Structure 1
Amino acid sequence: MSTFQHRAVLAEQAHVPDNMRPAKDGTIVFLPAENRSTGHFSKTVERVQGSGATFENDISERTTGIIWLDPSPKNLPLLEKTLKETEHIKWIQLPMAGVNAYSQLIMSDVGKHRLWTSAKGAYAQPVAEHALMLSLALLRFIPRRVLASSWGSPAAESLFGQNVLVIGAGGIALSLIDQLAPFSCSITVLRRSVDGAWPEHLKHVKIDSFTNLDKYLPHAGIVYLAAAATKETANLFTLKQFENMQRKAIIVNVARGELIKTDDLAIALEKNLILGAGLDVTAPEPLPEDHKLWQLAKDGEKNLIITPHTADTPEQIIPLLSQRWNDNIQAVLSGSGKFVGVIDNAQGY
């Protein structure tokens, strides 16, 4: 087993104003309580017990922060009710990078001077690695070969020198660009705004807006989706976009399933409008067993790979999430305001 440790990768650090910083002498509660001793959360909770913070089992007048232990929307009503009843709580740490299920609650908090942080960027490296794997497998027609029962004819496309289009500019995108470096690709990144911070070592990458997506699609050999699920990115890829892509192009989604109109992707693959697709996320999710995409995945010629949202495994998540919790706990205790993974309450992510 490798001893290498992934690290968090973030596009930029947000400044937390004084009026949004939780009290240094407050306590922290892990919620929902039943999740403290289940799954990977139990090990992650153990890892931060020596952080110097005071943890309580139940919310009290001293509680300044909540570390939330449920990435699903199942317990969302509990969190909403808790926050309505405890306005003195100033910090909520969410366990996932993509917070679209919680966006409405976060946006409703605007003006309450409450700090929300997520795991954005924490899992960037393993997710980018997964995206790279999917693209290489598709370019080498691995779905066809694993189903083959005869030698067949040689076929492969190379990643070297490809025109790559990356949708999103967060930690996953940054990690992916770094991992693509040996392949000498020409890379364009589309994000919400062309302004904002960008790493100096990636100045060779072209930056543009989501609104210009259709301009770049005909020239892209590989499209990677690594953007947050928002109103702006919902159904960003429909049949129109697939028809605008090269027949030899592939698409890889490691962001959220909602970025692609799933039925339209099935049509595109059936009609061979694109060379293939790699999906670690789908809409709906989990993908029903009778869904058309599973039928297409059984046909190696359609060049489709579906993985069950496993770009980051529990073994990878535990050290990365515990590091994120610890970093933000230290930001509370020191009063420095140096929180990691700060959510823009107005945008909801």
Structure 2
Amino acid sequence: MHKIVFLDRSTIAPQITVRRPAFAHEYVEHQKTTADQVVERLAGASIAITNKVPLTAEVLAQLPDLKLVAVAATGTDCVDKAWCQQHGIAVSNIRGYAINTVPEHTFALILALRRSIVPYRQDVLAGEWQKASQFCFFNHPIRDLGGSRLGIIGEGVLGQRVAELGRAFGMTPLFAAHKNAPPMGPLYTPWDEVLETSDIISIHCPLTPATRNLLGLAEFRKMKRKPLIINTARGGLVVEDDLVTALDEGLISGIGFDVTDGEPPAADSPMMRLAHRPNVILTPHVAWASDEAMQTLSDQLIDNIENFVNGTPSNLVAGSF
């Protein structure tokens, strides 16, 4: 009988149902798990469920009964997949569940920043409307989306959906060719051209050793149109100290981030120092978290586990393909 241990159930909202798999099993659920609790809690488990709890090679080597790591997310950087591949542990992830929620959050950030929604709201609460000598006031810039260029880093389903929404607003989407890559075909615009000509740049690629620190000061200095930078992917894709410099020097016009490099960010981190600025919106990694998306994620998570046990594994990123 399989023993299933969910290490961080609190990463899925309490109103979302996580059904039990349709096979004989023991199920143990922990709301949160710290690094020093992982080995003890997974002792004897054949299936581990994790969203963000790291499973390093050192930890995995102490879990001889483990057969499957079911990641309750798309990103699998919390698991040492190379070690799993070498030692016969399958790793599955979640796919396609965020096709609406992440692009919609992306455009919520874009619209709020382009139209200065947050600072105007703050002005209204502070009584600035009453002080105005007419029916409206113009304390902050307002820009249309129509006619602007939307640079997209990441051409997967989320990037494609963001492009689709951008076209509906009358924007011109540009899929960035991979950094330092040879020409990649007609879908792609050269990397430097995207940096130089975009009014908004939205990031939708995974965090890997190749993409870590993808955007830094050198890239910001190439951004001739001072774009908004939107990141609903992973924090480590952008050098956060360089982001502070870029905003201070006016190299970019604002940022909308749903992720930070290390979550939650420290109170004195670069992103928290920026969070109070009127051209910055920082949300707590919730772009993925509509109720509809979380239920789809939960259902697919258990589907992956059932399929693995039934001998038809799905959504594998390590193990037998």
- Residue 136 of structure 2 is aligned to residue 158 of structure 1: no
Q: 1:135-174 residue pairs with structure 2 within 5 A?
A: 135-148=110-123, 149=126, 150=128, 151-153=137-139, 155-174=141-160
- Residue 169 of structure 2 is aligned to residue 230 of structure 1: no
- Give how far 1:315 is off: 3.5
1:48 to 8, 11, 19: 19
Aligned match of 1:268: 246
2:286 to 310, 314, 317: 310
Aligned match of 1:92: 69
SS at match of 1:176: helix
CA distance in 2 between counterparts of 1:173 and 1:281 reads 17
Aligned match of 1:287: 265
Sort the Cα spacing of 1:40 and 1:174 in 2 relative to 1 into closer, same or farther, 3 A. same
SS at match of 1:189: strand
- Give how far 1:313 is off: 3.0
Sort the Cα spacing of 1:90 and 1:181 in 2 relative to 1 into closer, same or farther, 3 A. farther
Structure 2 regions of 5+ residues with no counterpart? Answer: 29-41, 129-136
Q: 1:314-329 residue pairs with structure 2 within 5 A?
A: 315-316=291-292, 318-329=294-305
Sort the Cα spacing of 1:215 and 1:247 in 2 relative to 1 into closer, same or farther, 3 A. closer
- Give how far 1:135 is off: 0.8
Aligned match of 1:121: 96
Aligned match of 1:72: 53
Contact 1:169 1:191 in 2 (8 A): no
State TM-score, norm by structure 2.
0.77
Aligned match of 2:174: 188
Structure 1 regions of 5+ residues with no counterpart? Answer: 1-25, 197-202
Q: Comparing both chains, which one has the higher relative contact order based on Cα–Cα distances under 8 Å and sequence gaps of 6 or more? A: 1
Q: Which amino acid aligns with 1:52?
A: A
Sort the Cα spacing of 1:287 and 1:335 in 2 relative to 1 into closer, same or farther, 3 A. closer
Higher mean alpha-carbon deviation, 284-293 vs 163-172, is at 284-293
- Give how far 1:219 is off: 1.0
Contact 1:29 1:66 in 2 (8 A): yes
Q: Which amino acid aligns with 1:206?
A: L
Contact 1:40 1:314 in 2 (8 A): no
Sort the Cα spacing of 1:92 and 1:304 in 2 relative to 1 into closer, same or farther, 3 A. same
Deviations 1:218-270 (A, max 9, x none): 01111111111111111111111111113441110011110110011011111
Give the % identical residues.
Answer: 24
- Give how far 1:190 is off: 3.4
CA distance in 1 between counterparts of 2:311 and 2:274 reads 53
Q: Which amino acid aligns with 1:155?
A: P
Contact 1:247 1:272 in 2 (8 A): no
- Residue 321 of structure 2 is aligned to residue 343 of structure 1: no
State TM-score, norm by structure 1.
0.71
Deviations 1:31-58 (A, max 9, x none): 44xx56x5747766x6422x52222248
CA distance in 2 between counterparts of 1:330 and 1:309 reads 28
Sort the Cα spacing of 1:174 and 1:90 in 2 relative to 1 into closer, same or farther, 3 A. farther
CA distance in 2 between counterparts of 1:96 and 1:277 reads 24
SS at match of 1:147: helix
